[in-house]
Amino acid sequence: MRRRVLVVLMIYSTVVVLALSVPLGLLLGRERAQRFGENRASTATYFAELSSREDESGDSRIRESVQRYNSLYGEGIVVVDRTGEVRAAAGLDTTRTDIQQAIAGALRNQRGRLPSSVTPWSPSSVLVAAPVGGGTQVDGAVVIAASTDTARRDVTVGWAVIAAGALLILATVALIAATLSRWVVRPLTALSMRVQSFGNAFHDRPPLDDAPRVESDTHVGPPEVRALSRAFDAMAGDVENATAAQRRLVADTAHALRNPLAALRIRLDVLGMRIPESVTEAHLRTTLEVDRLDSVVEDLLVLAAAETPTPRRDPGCDVLFVLTDRVQFWSSAMTAAGLTVHIAQSDPGVDYRGAVSEDDLVRMLDAVLSNAAKYAGAGADVDIECRAVGDHITVSIADTGPGVPADERPLITDRFFRASSAHGVGTGLGLAIVHALIERVGGRLEVDAHRPSGLIVRLGLPRNDIPNDRNAPLS
């Protein structure tokens, strides 16, 4: 943000400086052209008056003056009579077309046009023409090939001074802008980092290794920004405390229910040996409900642990090895459910080590494979694939079962949500646990429709020692 503020200030300052320096440079060129034109016009007028006072016997004087002017200033000059006959010339080829045109114009009582502005790239010389005589009587013409070298050099020096001044002003403005932007943006930068760290904690993402906690500096920046920063810190602290308290409540409640449920289950087992046959079915249903409550409590404990941020990264595990082990573990359950499992061939020699602990990966794979075994249905195929692509390892588990309706797929990772196509016993916490665990390690969970039918679950796990791009597509 500081860079953007600095860029905006520098762009504005550059526009202002250019708006002042460019007109000043143009004004300097026009002023120098005016002085140049006045000087050369007065010279041409002098020779015109000198020529008009001379008679035929005084030609030698005009020639002498022309020669002296050419030797002193190095500028060509020619003086002609009313018929265009050359009376005096020095340093100028009178046969040139532009010279002839200038002479013809002066004989028609027209003065040559002088440049309105001088620039460093202006022509090296211009023709200055003046008629000889007064009123409507034209007795001849004077043409001077005036050099613009001095004028162009003066304009170049002036523009260089203006450019140096503009650069000095921009450097000063840049220094002031850098100081001002740092003063203004520093509390906003701290607030932004605080928001990011708060967002990481809120979304169960791990902070950077050994990253210090970002605190707002209450002594730097505008008062309004400092007040905003203090208010946000207070709000963030309250939200973090409330979130932590909620997690502790879920974990404590689930932990407190475990022992009573275990005791109730034991008593039901003991009672089952003495109840009459007429209530056996009711006893069985009660036992199943207690088992279901026990599964919910266990899943809540796992979910609470998964939603707790971990400050350190696990050294990781071999994703392909763990996946192969869990598929073998669930193979008997899937065979009993009437499923056919297909495992894609992995690439030999590829490192499948991911930045996830083996325990967390086992929980994730068990949840996904358990869902496939429960809900895919008899006769369905389950395709399992593990690929290392770029900075992540993708585990894909697809089935050809009934799938999940499109309008329900965005809700499938919510707690206690069960799709309308799901039948049988379940807590609705399996994919919520997977989502929390994979988010905690910086990975991604994608649930999509499988073609032609069924569901595909992709686990995008970050690889060890490779920077992870969370926006890269999983394939």
- 37-52 residue pLDDT tens: 888 888 888 888 888 7
- Among 108-122, 234-248, 278-292, name the one with the lowest average pLDDT: 234-248
If we measure between CA atoms, which residue out of 112, 90, 91, 116 comes closest to residue 102?
A: 112
Q: What is the pLDDT of residue 162?
A: 93
- Among 52-66, 67-81, 207-221, 447-461, name the one with the lowest average pLDDT: 207-221
Half-sphere exposure of residue 354: CA atoms within 13 angstroms, side-chain side: 31
Q: What is the pLDDT of residue 212?
A: 43
Pairing type for strands 340-343 and 455-462 reads unpaired
Q: What's the CA dihedral at 437, 440, 442, 443 to 10 degrees?
A: 10
Pairing type for strands 381-389 and 340-343 reads parallel
Higher pLDDT, 205 or 45: 45
Q: What is the pLDDT of residue 27?
A: 93
- 318-353 residue pLDDT tens: 888 999 998 999 888 888 889 888 888 777 778 888
| Exposed/middle/buried for residue 54 (C-beta within 10 Å: 0-12, 13-18, 19+) | buried
Could you tell me what percent of the chain has a pLDDT over 70?
Answer: 76
* Cβ contacts of 403 within 8 Å, gap of 6 or more: 421, 449, 450, 453, 454, 455
- 245-285 residue pLDDT tens: 666 666 666 656 666 767 777 777 777 777 777 777 887 77
> Whole-number mean pLDDT of the chain?
79
d(CA 411, CA 432): 10
Higher pLDDT, 17 or 270: 17
Q: What is the DSSP string of 86-125?
A: EEEEES--TTSHHHHHHHHHHHTT-PPPPPS---TTS-SE
Higher pLDDT, 121 or 256: 121
